[in-house]
Amino acid sequence: MSKLLDFMRELGRDATLAAEYTQDADGTMRSAGLSDEERQAMLDKDYDAIKRLTGLVDGQFATNHSVVAYTE
Question: What digits encode the pLDDT tens for the residues 3-13?
Answer: 999 999 888 88
Give residue-wise pLDDT tens across range 48-63.
899 899 888 765 555 5
What pLDDT score was predicted for residue 69?
A: 47
Q: How confident is the model at residue 70 (pLDDT cuts 50, 70, 90)?
A: very low
Q: What share of the chain is helix, strand, coil (3-state, %, to 5)?
A: 60, 0, 40
What pLDDT score was predicted for residue 30?
A: 97
Work out the average pLDDT over 33-43: 95
Between CA 56 and CA 41 the distance in angstroms is 14
For residue 1, pLDDT over 80 is answered with no
